[in-house]
Amino acid sequence: MPPDFETLIARYLDRAADAAEVAELSRLIATDESARRLYLRIARLHADLAATVDVAASRAEATATSAPGSRAPAAERRFGWRQSSLAWAAGIAVLLAGGALVAWRSISTRTVARFESLHDCRWVGAGIEVQPGDPIPRGQVLQLSSGTVNLRFASGAEATLVGPAIFEISSGNGGFLTLGQVKVNAAAPAAKGFTVQTRTARVVDIGTEFVTAASADGQSRVDVTSGEVVVLLAGVRSPQRLRTGDALSIEAGRTQVLVRIESGDGTAAFRFPTIEPPSNRDLADASVGLARIRVIKGTLHTTALIPSGPVELLLDGRGQSQPNSPAESVFFDNNASGLLLLDLGRVVALSKINTYSWHQSPDAVNRVRAVQKFTLYGFAGEVAPGTEGVLTENGWVQLARVNSDDFFHVMNPVDRPAQQACSITGALGAMGRYRYLLWAVEPTQGKNPQFLNNTFYTEFDVYGTP
């Protein structure tokens, strides 16, 4: 095991490793037992598994590793590799290199759910045979490579698993989602309290329909289609309550950064269900006189016909006065990404960062410039680090990822809210101490080249304690 092995693990878990490093990490894990044990230990810590204590308790039975190519018992072959969600998450690097790190344990014979229907399903592992009506025992892990499968739980709850996905059936009224997306309908009276747990959150249904998604790096997202859910986070006493139309994402890490996106009332008042309107009382407001913002990569749209407003508009404490107002908005050239650097003038213990956008064409059809799509980074030092190459390698800390079209499940232009607010907060209070904030803004990828398509941002508000 090389002396820099822990650094290699950290780079992979922070998504900073290049292809050669991933291949080297995979080789070491597949061939070195001590490297494998160290990787699993660090991966467990990195994933912040405090939120999964009760599920982990049910997995406390003895486990043993099996080499690639080993054959599982027939009952386990039926659903592919039998593997704990934790081991699969920690073994992603090995799987990328074609290896297999598998933790085995016996499957309960108690049936707690059944397959309802299957659509173009492709399972991980060869020789999988699943039919509608087949029973699913408690503890069974469903490893779906592609397609969708509908499940009915003993409680009466219905769930649709969308591949690729890894989902463990933990009881007759819930499961553990390691990867992918599951849509739950818990309208049956006995299904109240249906729970989907991920590595970073626990989602408890109050009624009646919601979607939970989990990424390989630990990020979780919850969208409420109807009714209400409660989201529980490790170490946080106050739960997050989400109602119809609400969405929330949780980034992995100690600070548990939350992202909430809401649609507004479509007026110059910028009224949202829970997010406050643009403010002139935040720490970054121009009236405070300390913060400065500038474009450090990319170019604002500057054509004579429809130019962007100056970047300083993002700190003026106001939103646009109408839904199609380029002069009151800040936007990049078509299909171009860009970087916006905000210097707060001193280190701040950040508690909340809000961003706002508004756009709707006169015919009310084109709203492509309303979508918010960016990654937010922070840095605490006196001088901002460079922005060439991989930002996290330069010292930037990734705080949050935002794509409002994903949050609102936008399939058609009219599905997209014209007025949007994004609020980034820390579940435990402050999300960290930073002086510099960096928005890596992505193009909206509008399909009609005749229209301007980059977002009309109107205001960035920053709250915290200097």
Residue extents of the structural domains in the chain: 1-46, 49-91+100-242, 257-465
In terms of Cβ atoms closer than 10 Å to its own Cβ (0-12, 13-18, 19+), residue 16 is: middle
Tokens of 199: 């590595």
Tokens of 383: 């001088």
Residue type, 42: I
Tell me: the pLDDT tens digits for 221-280? Answer: 998 989 999 999 877 888 889 988 888 999 887 778 999 999 999 999 999 999 999 999
Say how far apart CA 274 and CA 261 lie, in whole Å.
Answer: 10
User: CATH code for 257-465?
Assistant: 2.60.120.260
Q: How confident is the model at residue 362 (pLDDT cuts 50, 70, 90)?
A: confident
Tell me: the pLDDT tens digits for 22-40? Answer: 778 877 877 777 777 677 7
CA distances from 59 to 45, 87, 153, 360 (A): 17, 11, 20, 51
Would strands 174-185 and 195-197 be described as parallel, antiparallel, or unpaired? parallel
Q: How confident is the model at residue 93 (pLDDT cuts 50, 70, 90)?
A: very low
What confidence score (pLDDT) does residue 124 get? Answer: 86
Task: Indicate the fold that domain 49-91+100-242 takes in CATH.
Answer: Jelly Rolls (2.60.120)
What confidence score (pLDDT) does residue 225 get? Answer: 87
Beta bridge partners of 167: 142, 177
Residue 201 φ then ψ, to 5°: -160, 165
Which alpha helices (H) appear in 255-345, and where do they start and end? Answer: none
% of residues, the chain, pLDDT over 70: 80
CA distances from 78 to 65, 215, 273 (A): 19, 25, 47
Q: How confident is the model at residue 53 (pLDDT cuts 50, 70, 90)?
A: very low
3-state SS assignment for residue 415: helix
3-state SS assignment for residue 453: coil
**Residue 89 pLDDT > 90:** no
Mean pLDDT across the chain: 81
What confidence score (pLDDT) does residue 306 get? Answer: 85
Q: Comparing 21-25, 352-356, 391-395, which segment has the lowest mean pLDDT? A: 21-25
**Residue 453 pLDDT > 80:** no
**Residue 446 pLDDT > 80:** no
What is this structure's pTM? 0.69
Q: How confident is the model at residue 80 (pLDDT cuts 50, 70, 90)?
A: very low
Beta bridge partners of 436: 343, 379
User: Do 257-465 and 49-91+100-242 fall under one CATH topology?
Assistant: yes
